[in-house]
């Protein structure tokens, strides 16, 4: 275990599990450096259905903005477009999407850096969660090490992760915003009931990593709080910020309404990001205390796998003195996963040392379960859940080339490729993964 002293620690990524030297480098120098192919559960084909299903391949499109552009072009509401999971902006991603539109209209879509293929009809739309995982092909560039040094480092890291049986299943930087890691802070202020601070954290709050135009615009609004004037100089690229600012011009003081004007999945993301930050801190502390990630201890809550072989996040089984032998066997066989809490209104803590870790983090944040009931913004309320602390890696391969190191592997849904690669790179900075 190594402590992480970089910017990652600010989003709860406080440690590295492996103690091997990192190869350094940067990801996503070009879109072709980060290729994601969704492993999904396609709806059955049925010519009598009202949905068009299509494979959508996009380059450098964040999912919310992609859906916004598709709905605008097809002249249908965002609610009539379905997808199984959100994807990173930087890179080339392929995913299934559903549209309440004709097959011809979907097939004839012609948008910049977006291609449509494999269109068919179905009675069932795509919804969040209708996927199994993602396959990644990723290039890491600009390492300062020699090829032999890179290979030696990779071999050492791979050996330690293989012995573990996976990787620490942190939420990656994309959950919080690699350029502006503020999503969890917005969620924090929503949970704390300070909606004005939540809004200003999102629309203002300049950061050094931004471009000059957006940083200066945010700084000016933070200085004078003049929303009407901000509409004159806020860059058009700040789509959602402009939506919120415009709403506050029309509805002064209605900060809840300015959040509700955002896409529902983005509203939910604020609270989910805060829960993710808390989870990351809990997992960091578990690693720091040298509690195993691949072997349950008394007090752990384990998640049995469902029919797809994925953890059932809503039906945990407590580990006790009476069942620990059975639970250990199930975890070892890959039929159950050790979990930690994603804290919400209905959450219960683990027991024993795992529960002490969970309680400590929640107490440090001065939270109670009722904080996650948000009556003014229904989409932001969260019952909570649990998440596996160990992610599994399938088909892992790596090759050291003259101009990059090439990694390919598959992960279950909800797992982050950048979290796997940070164990190899060990940079500790958010921008290295953006």
Which of the residues are catalytic?
88
Helix (H) or strand (E) run with residue 257 in it: helix 255-260
Distances (CA, A) of 326 to 214, 312, 331, 348: 55, 18, 9, 22
Beta strands in 288-418 (DSSP E): 301-304, 317-318, 336-342, 385-388, 390-391, 393-400, 405-412
Q: How many residues does the chain have?
A: 434
User: Residue 392 half-sphere exposure, CB side, CA atoms within 13 Å?
Assistant: 19
* Cα–Cα distance, 96 to 42 (Å, whole number): 7
- Please give the order of strands across the beta sheet that includes 385-388: 317-318, 301-304, 336-342, 385-388
Helix (H) or strand (E) run with residue 3 in it: strand 2-3
Looking up tokens 């919804």, which residue turns up?
127
Is 272 exposed, middle or buried (CB count within 10 Å of its CB: 0-12, 13-18, 19+)?
buried
Q: How far is CA 162 from the centre of its chain?
A: 24
* Cα–Cα distance, 108 to 262 (Å, whole number): 28
Q: Which residues of 117-127 are buried (b: 16+ CB within 10 A; e: fewer)?
A: eebbbbebbbe
Closest residue by Cα to residue 239 from 224, 221, 261? 261
Closest residue by Cα to residue 420 from 206, 212, 161? 161
Is 233 exposed, middle or buried (CB count within 10 Å of its CB: 0-12, 13-18, 19+)?
exposed
């Amino acid at each position: 275990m190594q402590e992480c002293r970089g910017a990652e620690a600010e989003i709860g990524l406080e440690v590295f599990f492996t103690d091997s030297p990192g190869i350094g480098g940067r990801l996503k120098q070009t879109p072709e450096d980060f290729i994601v192919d969704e492993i999904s559960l396609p709806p059955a084909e049925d010519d009598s259905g009202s949905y068009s299903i299509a494979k959508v391949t996009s380059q450098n499109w964040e999912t919310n903005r992609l859906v916004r552009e598709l709905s605008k072009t097809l002249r249908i509401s965002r609610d009539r477009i379905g997808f199984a999971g959100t994807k990173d902006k930087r890179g080339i991603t392929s995913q299934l999407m559903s549209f309440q539109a004709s097959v011809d209209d979907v097939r004839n879509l012609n948008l910049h850096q977006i291609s449509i293929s494999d269109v068919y009809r179905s009675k069932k739309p795509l919804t969040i969660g209708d996927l199994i995982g993602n396959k990644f092909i990723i290039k890491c560039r600009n390492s300062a090490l020699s090829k032999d040094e890179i290979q030696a480092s990779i071999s050492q890291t791979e050996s330690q992760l293989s012995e573990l049986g996976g990787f620490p299943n942190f939420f990656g930087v994309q959950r919080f915003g690699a350029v502006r890691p503020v999503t969890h802070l917005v969620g924090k202020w929503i949970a704390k009931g300070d909606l004005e601070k939540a809004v200003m954290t999102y629309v203002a709050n300049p950061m050094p990593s931004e471009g000059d135009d957006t940083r200066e615009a945010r700084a000016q609004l933070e200085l004078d709080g003049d929303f009407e004037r901000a509409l004159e100089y806020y860059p058009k690229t700040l789509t959602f910020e402009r939506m919120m600012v415009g709403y506050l011009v029309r509805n002064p003081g209605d900060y809840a309404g300015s959040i509700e004007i955002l896409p529902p999945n983005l509203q939910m993301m604020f609270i989910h990001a805060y829960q993710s930050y808390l989870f990351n801190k809990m997992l960091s502390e578990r690693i720091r205390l040298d509690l195993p990630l691949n072997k349950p201890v008394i007090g752990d809550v384990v998640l049995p796998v469902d029919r797809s072989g994925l953890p059932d996040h809503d039906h945990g089984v407590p580990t006790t003195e009476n069942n620990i032998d059975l639970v250990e066997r199930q975890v070892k066989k890959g039929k159950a996963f050790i979990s930690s809490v994603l804290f919400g209104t209905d959450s219960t803590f683990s027991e024993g040392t795992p529960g002490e870790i969970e309680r400590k983090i929640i107490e440090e944040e001065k939270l109670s379960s009722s904080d996650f009931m948000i009556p003014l913004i229904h989409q932001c309320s969260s019952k909570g859940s649990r998440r596996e602390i160990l992610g599994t890696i399938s088909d892992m391969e790596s090759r050291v080339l003259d101009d990059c190191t090439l990694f390919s592997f598959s992960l279950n849904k909800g797992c982050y490729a950048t979290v796997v690669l940070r164990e190899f790179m060990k940079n500790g900075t958010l921008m290295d993964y953006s």
